[in-house]
Amino acid sequence: MLSTMLSMLFLMPLGCPPEASPHTAEPVSSEGSVRSLLDQAERVAATLESWTRPALYRTENDLTGDSVLRTGWISWRRAMDNVTVGLLLEWEVVDRARRKKVKDFILQGPFLWEVEHEGKLRIKRRLSTDDSATTLGALGRGPLPLPIGMSADDVLAKFTVTEGVRPNVGVLAKIQDERVRYLQFTPKEGTPSAEEMDHAVVAYMPDGLPRGVRVERLNGDVREGRFDPIREGQSPPSDLNQRMDPETAPREGWTIQKPVN
């Protein structure tokens, strides 16, 4: 099913062109190299004000074997010390069927907004009281976990991090850029992520920004995303700014659910 979905995806407006040259990564054992890449990712996150890329988001249910591929955008915004990360989904592909299905996951501090546009429903949830698990940077948490916003020390305190290889299945398997490096994150015993996640593989560009992530959960489920370069003629949705701030978005006709303080 996945190969069918990916072949269909390459015909879509949000698809990604083939990259420069095929490349099969080999693992490299270098603690210093791992730390250097984590430090670079920390530095770029500390100075990053905005970042938006086309995104593929895929989920796989191990129990049923069902796989769903969605396309859209991932966006990062910083205003002063307030960071907002959004996964803005536009299309859903199941087997051979493609349909418009607009859904957003917006993370603001410890709160995750889930926005269903078709049903005009916004749900605000508090993820955790543990600061290390309240951002998309906390691997194993949120709809698309990424190590953005975590210090290198925080990452190494919670995960065993080693050089990895490009996965040979899923959306990361289509990355053919030899500049990309892969790190494998295995949660340490007793950490929140260890309750849900077996391991994650994160693909990094040389500047420390993520190219993609694949998370394999203890129950066999998979969540993964790939963030492609913006192609000529592509542009984020015109309502990006409004969708990135569901707290202040128009309320008329919407059902809004918020946690009780």
Side-chain-facing half-sphere of 121: CA atoms under 13 Å? 7
Q: How many domains does the chain have?
A: 1
Sequential pLDDT tens for the chain (261 residues): 222 222 222 223 333 333 333 333 444 445 679 999 999 988 888 888 889 999 999 998 888 888 889 999 999 888 877 888 899 999 998 877 889 999 999 988 778 899 999 999 999 988 765 544 334 444 444 455 565 667 888 888 888 999 999 999 999 999 999 999 999 999 889 887 788 889 999 999 988 888 999 999 999 999 999 999 999 989 999 999 999 999 988 899 999 999 876
User: Residue 65's domain is classified under what CATH number?
Assistant: 2.50.20.10
DSSP-derived secondary structure for 80-146: TTEEEEEEEEEEEEETTEEEEEEEEEEEETTEEEEEETTTTEEEEEE--SSGGGSSTTSTTSSSS--
- Domain that includes residue 224, residue range: 25-246
Q: Which one, of 256, 258, 4, 259, lies nearest residue 121 by Cα?
A: 256
pTM of the model: 0.79
Contact 37, 43 (CB under 8 A): no
- 257 in a domain, yes or no? no
Q: Is residue 168 part of a domain?
A: yes
β partners of residue 94: 97
Residue 2 lies in a domain: no
Amino acid at position 75, single letter: S
